[in-house]
Amino acid sequence: MLIIWGRNTSSNVQKLLWASTEMELPFERKNMAGKYGFTDEYLKLNPNSVVPTIDDDGFVLWESNACLRYLASTYGEGSLKLVDAQMLANADRWMDWCTTTMWNSLRPVFHGLVRTEEGLRDIDFINKSAEETGEILLILDSWLSDKLFVCGKQFSIGDIPLGIAVYRWLAMDIKRPERPNILAWYERLCQRPAYKEHIMIPLQ
């Protein structure tokens, strides 16, 4: 059985929980990181001291987007597996954009409001980062103007990292500009049971 190492509140772990549930792929999750720390056993699998790591019958892999791509291509026939090269390239593009652009801007907001004690928060920096995130999301909002999902009509792995990040953006008490296409896409994600189960949980 597939083993997914990592706490369920980690956005990177949630990518794999959401995807596996979409594909009806059985898995066992083992708590790691955060309040659980890292065991010597785990650090032998992933010396980076981060989560997730997967063990698929002896095949060990880390880096969340790599794990997501592997699971979709291996187990996603008829669901998350993308066979069209252009759709796959689009999914890859938006997964990477989420990591390198959108999340880089949103991370200070999330860590500042969710994982920092109130008295230690740099409110000016948090507000500045929130404003920057809203502007960056105009790119995604424009892209979604004529699409149901990131790759078009079909839900794909391209929606997963962004769907997790946008949930955080909407769940926090910050000023947000109107992004109607993102909100419509988000409402479509909210209809997916796996999204409700693994992503729409209290932020930690």
pLDDT digit string (tens) for 145-183? 999 999 999 999 999 999 999 999 999 999 999 999 999
- What does the radius of gyration of the chain's CA atoms come to, in whole angstroms? 17
Provide the CATH number for the domain around residue 34: 3.40.30.10
**pLDDT bucket at 97, cuts 50 / 70 / 90:** very high
What's 101's DSSP letter? I
Quick one: pLDDT at residue 119?
93
Q: Is 112 helix (H, G, I), strand (E, B) or coil?
A: helix
Q: Is residue 165 one of the residues assigned to a domain?
A: yes
Residues 183, 135 within the same domain: yes
For residue 137, the enclosing domain spans 85-198
Q: Is residue 204 one of the residues assigned to a domain?
A: no
Domain count, the chain: 2
Residues 108, 25 within the same domain: no
Contact 90, 158 (CB under 8 A): yes
Q: Is residue 140 one of the residues assigned to a domain?
A: yes
Four-residue CA torsion sign, 6, 10, 16, 21: positive
Q: In the chain, pLDDT over 90 holds for what percent of residues?
A: 100
Residues 28, 102 within the same domain: no
Quick one: pLDDT at residue 56?
98
Helices (H) and strands (E) in the chain, counts: 9, 4
Q: Which two three-digit tokens encode residue 63?
A: 């880096």
Measured between its terminal Cα atoms, the distance across the chain in Å is 28
Query: Model confidence over 50-90: pLDDT tens digits?
Result: 999 999 999 999 999 999 999 999 999 999 999 999 999 99
Q: Which two three-digit tokens encode residue 122?
A: 């740099």
Q: Which two three-digit tokens encode residue 30?
A: 């083992």
Single out the residue in 43, 75, 107 at which a domain terminates: 75
Residues 29, 119 within the same domain: no
